[in-house]
Amino acid sequence: MDKNRYMYFVGALLYVNLTALVILGLLLKFVIPTGARAIGSPPSFLGLSRHGWADLHGTLGILFIVLTVAHLLLNWNWVVQSSKRYFQDKWVKALLVLSAVWVPIIFVGWIVSR
């Protein structure tokens, strides 16, 4: 398979995965019941408990990260060329600063959400 087919496949999977993440997140927030409906029976939605849906949401989130990394690797030449165009000689420094800023923001967001 050539690179364009891989890019299309990864892009399509990213779209489907992100759509599923958003829909599942909205279902978890607004539709799937919380708490016990009856003593001894966990609340469920379409046969899965809230924890089952949350596990699926987490798995889709991990898959999204893997697909995003694959997408970035497949498009790395474009990232470098665009960075060179916008930042001229300082393109490497610009990418490093972006990474140095973005990674701690994600980490802090993860810590706060716990």
Give per-residue pLDDT as tens, 95-113.
888 878 887 888 888 788 8
What is the model's pLDDT at position 39?
Answer: 58
How much is the pLDDT for 35?
Answer: 65
Residues contacting residue 56 through CB under 8 Å, at least 6 positions apart: 24, 48
Whether 22 has a pLDDT exceeding 60, the answer reads yes
Residues of the chain with pLDDT > 70, as a percent, come to 89
Close Cβ partners of 18 (under 8 Å, ≥ 6 residues apart): 64
Question: 38: which strand partners?
Answer: 41
Q: Tell me, what's the pLDDT at 12?
A: 95
